[in-house]
Chain A
């Protein structure tokens, strides 16, 4: 499917550094959500954005931030990286906010050393 795309695929950082992850939603989708998936666990909700505004936030510290651009693409930023931030970061898009179905991208594998 001409689905959700994410970049980069893999990333290695050291503790204390900053990282920016990028996501392009399915064409026509206006809402983007971010999830963190630690190995062996289900994805955990971080943010949802719609029309450039944050519409939902999960239980993550302020080191995590995001934004959405006029073309509906999105960035996830993580500051002051910790070892525990190592995970697969998934982006999901849906047509509208409040619309149920979310379609996931392939994810960015972040390793923090």
Chain B
């Protein structure tokens, strides 16, 4: 089955700086890679996702890059703000039409924005 490794486990950055979180996956058949943000005591919220036919996707201050050859994808947050502080999870799945695989998650990165 799929295995997703995520690092770092904790990341502390100064407000206004950029943050980068990296994930690797093991199953070359995986073709969908979402990122979720989870604040303490709340539900995971989808912040951005990317599919295997795309190398990069951007949404305002958030971007995700995917390298299928290296089985590696990353989350980039620019101009970080205090409200970006949370735990971020990467995930991977194989979504071959009609397939019903669940998402395989990384262990999470606790992002701390220092004022």
Using CB atoms and an 8 Å cutoff, list the residues of chain A in contact with chain B. 4, 31, 33, 35, 40-46, 48, 50, 55-56, 58-59, 90, 97-107
Contact = CB atoms under 8 A, between A and B. Distances in A.
A58 B93 CA distance: 13
Interface string B1-27: 100101000000000000000000000
Nearest to A42: B105
Contacts of A55: 100
A41 B103 contact: no
A31 B46 CA distance: 17
Interface string B86-105: 00010101011111111111
A55 B4 CA distance: 22
Given A42-B106, A44-B105, A45-B104, A98 B44 contact: no
A105 B42 CA distance: 9
- The majority secondary structure among interface residues of chain A is loop
Nearest to A43: B105
Nearest to A3: B43
Interface residues of B, number: 30
Contacts of A33: 102-103
A5 to B, nearest CB: 11
Contacts of B101: 45, 48, 56
A42 B100 contact: no
Contacts of B44: 43, 90, 104
A102 B99 CA distance: 14
B43 A58 contact: no
B102 A101 contact: no
B23 to A, nearest CB: 11
Contacts of B49: 100-101
21 contacts: A42-B6, A42-B91, A42-B105, A43-B103, A43-B105, A45-B102, A45-B103, A48-B101, A56-B99, A56-B100, A58-B102, A90-B44, A97-B98, A98-B95, A98-B97, A98-B98, A100-B32, A103-B46, A104-B45, A106-B43, A107-B43
